[in-house]
Amino acid sequence: MLQLFDSHCHLDGLGDKLPGVLERAAAAGVVGMATIGCDWESSQRASELAAAYDNITCAVGFHPSDSHGLDDKRFIELGELASRPEVRAVGEIGLDYYWDSTPRDIQQKWFVEQIHLARDLHKPIVIHDREAHGDLFDIVRRENAGEFGGIMHCFSGSWELAKEALRMNFYISFAGPLTYKNARALPEVAAQCPLDRILIETDTPYLAPEPLRGKPNEPANVRYVAARLAEIRRLDIEEIGAAVTRNARLFYGLAE
């Protein structure tokens, strides 16, 4: 029986569409999902959803592009939110030099502060890294950011970069881009990454996989990522599903 876990999605903005999304996810074999905060409002909603649904867990944090919304007062409030038992990780945090909508020094400051918050709470982190590999990995190494575990969300780097992340106690998470016809480095990473360090995700409502590109994404579509991963690894999709579900439950500290 196929079981899947969407390790990274954003359910906070679905409103009255949420019941249908959850129903379709269950029908597709999705037994769990992690909804991830990007700013104050989405983090609050993520915590509420995780408290309300047995099959939803969450992380809270400020995305690098939203880190201009952090100040000392809000950071204290974020720490209080992150300490709740239903909150299993701090994220998504990191650096984004693609959009560059927030000054890089501000991104870096709050990335480091949120790493420290996770360390204080003994919780893992969920990292966003877009066109910032050098600076991000420098910070991750310097701060020993993988001390309590971490995820490289929607991984987009090379196998060499993946090996470095693995050495630092991170999982590699694959999203819709693994299914894209122009994917180059990702299939190599997916083929070589240890199976017990792989996660899959949708990044709902973004990054819909083939053959749904251009449409709003949802957790049910994580099966397309699982199918592509199974093809690359030459394994049954049920075996991939069992592995990624086990990995996600371990990462998020969820009981079997």
Cβ(121)–Cβ(82) below 8 Å: yes
pLDDT at 149: 96
- pTM for the model stands at 0.97
pLDDT at 256: 61
How would you label 104-141 residue by residue, b for 16+ Cβ within 10 Å and e otherwise? eeebbebbebbbebbbeeebbbbbbbbebbebbbebbe
pLDDT at 101: 86
Mean pLDDT by 10 residues, the chain (256 residues): 97 97 98 98 98 98 97 98 98 94 96 98 98 97 97 97 98 98 95 98 98 96 98 98 98 87
pLDDT at 150: 98
Cβ(34)–Cβ(6) below 8 Å: yes
pLDDT at 226: 98
- Domain 4-251 sits in CATH at 3.20.20.140
pLDDT at 106: 97
> Residue 179 to residues 10, 76, 191, 203: CA-CA distances in angstroms?
20, 40, 13, 14
pLDDT at 78: 98
